[in-house]
Amino acid sequence: MTTTANQLFKDLVQKGRLSSTIAEVASLTAIDVAPVIEELSGLRDYHQLRMLESFQESRVSDYHLGVSTGYGYGDSARDTLDQVMAQALFAESALVREQFVSGTHAIAAALYGLLRPGDEVISATGLPYDTLREVIGIDQASGSLQDFGITYRQVDLKPDGSIDLPTLLEQVSPRTKLVMFQRSRGYSLRPSLSVAEIGQACQTLNQRHPHVLTFVDNCYGELVEKLEPTALGAHLIAGSLIKNLGGGLAPTGGYVAGKAELVEKAAGRLTAPGIGAHVGSSPGGRRLYFQGLFMAPQVVYEALAGAIFAARLFERLGFAVTPRYDEHRSDIIQAITIGTAEGVVAFCQGLQQACPVDGFVLPEPNAMPGYADPVIMAGGTFIQGATSELSADAPIREPYAVYFQGGLSQTFVRLGAVIAAQKLYDRALLP
């Protein structure tokens, strides 16, 4: 029996923020999830030790934590941070930059860096994440890859959510330059792909079609499993620093990691050919990037433990959830199918009321750049839009699912989940 959890729910009842009905379900949930969360602590410890070793082997020092300006020539902190990240991600090389405005930007720099007119790119995991559709040119946009004569093909996942490797191998042509994989579910109800499955596909491609490069959109997946795709044959991965690897502290940025010559090409696209990774300063200083990376194993653990609680809570309340609380995870996202637009709005408004920043705000669905449907986003975060912090996003479209992720502390995620559940209860939207 987890007495601290029960105390939390009791306090919420006493303060009039939770009904005894929801508190009762939450208490039972806490008991169900305790062994699953206990097991997860082993993953956290494994990554924390590896992270410490990465820092020590790169000889991170106090003087790396200060600022640099202008070109940043000879900025050893920049190179050291790249080196720490490379080791943490089992990669030859990495490019960690605050000049990446988002994960989409880092992924786009990788794609534009590697692809040339006449090349073909294949997505091996169906339709890519919303913001990448304009990058590729699936959705019309000026300056897309398609605009530069780079064609696109897609191999859908099998109905069970696994990679359709035979079809993928068949679709590869001499023009195929790159095959991309999306590890996370993104805004869809498919399962996240395990690193082992992505690695298997990359290795098979490497053997059968050695001219093809493999790229993984690694967003939301970092440190959720023991290995990263780069450890199992993926040539290049990319992601955001306001998700897992920023540890809730990195104020902005993205990363690319993998084979050194490919990282260099992405760097040439971020800055300019020739100067690549060798310029770029950090006027605000790199302390939060180092510190966030060091904290990332703990913060990812807190997010996962919170997601496990939320999965069980909403399952107990009668909703379909994916993954289930005791299922394998390869990303930090918890999807909950609420089933109605009003329910999605209630969930997000409830979650918002549990946030330390903008807790008084009532979120509403809105058009968002890069997204086709209106999206409602909840999350009063210290870093704008950071999904390493507690947040929920939901495109207002069938099947009306919310995607819930992050949370700097497990207790805080539990608070958010129960208050969201309470909001559904208050509006008579529970099944």
Ligand X SMILES: *Cc1c(COP(=O)(O)O)cnc(C)c1O
Q: Where along the sequence are the contacts to ligand X (CB under 6 A)?
A: 102-104, 129, 131, 182, 184, 186, 217, 219-220, 240
Q: Work out how close the CB of 103 gets to ligand X at its nearest, in angstroms, rounded to a whole number.
A: 3
Instruction: Show the tokens assigned to 334.
Output: 């918890």
Q: Work out how close the CB of 114 gets to ligand X at its nearest, in angstroms, rounded to a whole number.
A: 17
Nearer to ligand X, 105 or 414 (CB): 105
Q: Work out how close the CB of 376 gets to ligand X at its nearest, in angstroms, rounded to a whole number.
A: 16
Rounded Cα–Cα distance for residues 36 and 50 (Å):
22
Q: Work out how close the CB of 130 gets to ligand X at its nearest, in angstroms, rounded to a whole number.
A: 8
Residue 88 burial (C-beta neighbours within 10 Å; 0-12, 13-18, 19+): buried
Closest by CA position to 131, among listed 307, 405, 385, 398: 385
Query: What is the number of the residue whose Cβ is closest to ligand X?
Result: 103
Nearer to ligand X, 105 or 312 (CB): 105
Q: How many beta carbons lie within 10 A of that of residue 105, not counting itself? A: 19
Nearer to ligand X, 238 or 418 (CB): 238
Q: Work out how close the CB of 55 gets to ligand X at its nearest, in angstroms, rounded to a whole number.
A: 25
Nearer to ligand X, 131 or 422 (CB): 131
By the 8 A CB rule, do 296 and 96 touch?
no
Rounded Cα–Cα distance for residues 179 and 202 (Å):
9
Q: Work out how close the CB of 7 gets to ligand X at its nearest, in angstroms, rounded to a whole number.
A: 34
Nearer to ligand X, 129 or 404 (CB): 129
Instruction: Show the tokens assigned to 136.
Output: 């590729």
Q: Phi then psi for 78, rounded to 5 degrees?
A: -60, -50
Question: To which H or E segment does residue 215 belong?
Answer: strand 213-217
Nearer to ligand X, 65 or 368 (CB): 368
Q: Work out how close the CB of 373 gets to ligand X at its nearest, in angstroms, rounded to a whole number.
A: 16
Q: CA angle, corner 42, sides to 41 and 44, nearest 5?
A: 65
Nearer to ligand X, 121 or 424 (CB): 121
Alpha helices in 58-150 (DSSP H): 76-88, 103-114, 132-136
- Block residue for tokens 């330390």: 356
Helix (H, G, I), strand (E, B) or coil at 403: strand
